[in-house]
Amino acid sequence: MAKSLGMDQHDIGILFEQGWQTFRMNYYPPCPQPELVMGLNSHSDAVGLTILLQLTADTQGLQIKQDGHWVPVVPLPNAFIINIGDILEVKKIMSIEHRATVNSDKERISLATFLSPKLDGDLGPAPSLLKNTLSQPEFRRISVADYYKGYFSRELVGKSYVDTMRIHNG
Ligand SMILES: O=C(O)CCC(=O)C(=O)O
Ligand SMILES: [Fe+2]
C-alpha cells in the first residue's frame, strides 16, 4: 500500500503499528417513509482503512458520492468493500463520501471493521510524501486522540471534519 501511495513504508508502519481495530454492526430497520429519513448520514470514514460487508445482499442502501451524484453500491454476495479512510487519503486516492439509505419493506445489515492508528501517536502529512513530491503540507498535524475527540463530538456531514485541518496556503 505504501508503495502505491508513494510513501516510505516506515511512515505507514509508525502510524498503524499497535493501532486499534474497531467493529461496527449497522442495522437499518424498514421504514414506511424511507424518503423522509437517512440510515447513516453522509460521511467519509475517519480511519485508515475500512473493510465493509453488506450482509443482506438482496437489499440496497449504501451509496457513494461521485461527481456530485449519489450512486448505489449494489451488494455482491460474500464480497468485501475496501474503503480508503481520511487518514490514508493521498491526493487523488480519496476517502469516498458515502451514506446509507433505508428501505420501505426490507431490513438491511452491514458489518464494518475499521483500522485506526494508535491513540498515543499523531497524524499529519507523511514526511516521505512531502520530501518525495517537494510539496507544501495541506493539512496540519494533530494528535490521534484529539482527532477522534473532534470527530466524535461533531455531526456527520460529508467531509467537513477533514476540512477543519486543512492549511490554507497562499
Ligand atoms: O451500511 C453501510 O453500508 C455503510 C456503513 C458505514 O458507512 C459505516 O459504518 O461507516
Ligand atoms: Fe462509513
The neighbourhood of ligand 2, an ion, using CB within 5 A, equals: 45
Please state which architecture CATH assigns to domain 2-161: Sandwich (2.60)
Query: Which residue did the predictor score with more confidence, 66 or 160?
Result: 66
Ligand 1 near 100 CB (within 6 A):
yes
DSSP class of residue 39 equals S
Q: Which of 37, 42, 74, 98 to mutate to test the pocket of ligand 1 (most atoms within 8 A of CB)?
A: 98
Question: What ipTM does this complex have?
Answer: 0.99
Tell me if 31 sits within 8 A of 105, measured CB to CB: no
> What would the pLDDT profile of 83-137 be if each residue is shown by its tens digit?
999 999 887 788 999 999 999 999 999 999 999 999 999 999 999 999 888 788 9
Tell me if 96 sits within 8 A of 84, measured CB to CB: yes
Chain-centroid distance of CA 42 in Å reads 11
Distance CA 165, CA 138 (A): 8
Q: Is the pLDDT of residue 63 over 80?
A: yes
The H or E element spanning position 22 is strand 20-28
Give the Å distances, CA to CA, from 169 to 49, 123, 129, 135, 163. 28, 19, 17, 11, 13
Across the range 52-81, mean pLDDT stands at: 95
For the chain, give every domain's residue range.
Answer: 2-161
Ligand 1 near 24 CB (within 6 A):
yes
Closest residue by Cα to atom 8, ligand 1, is: 112
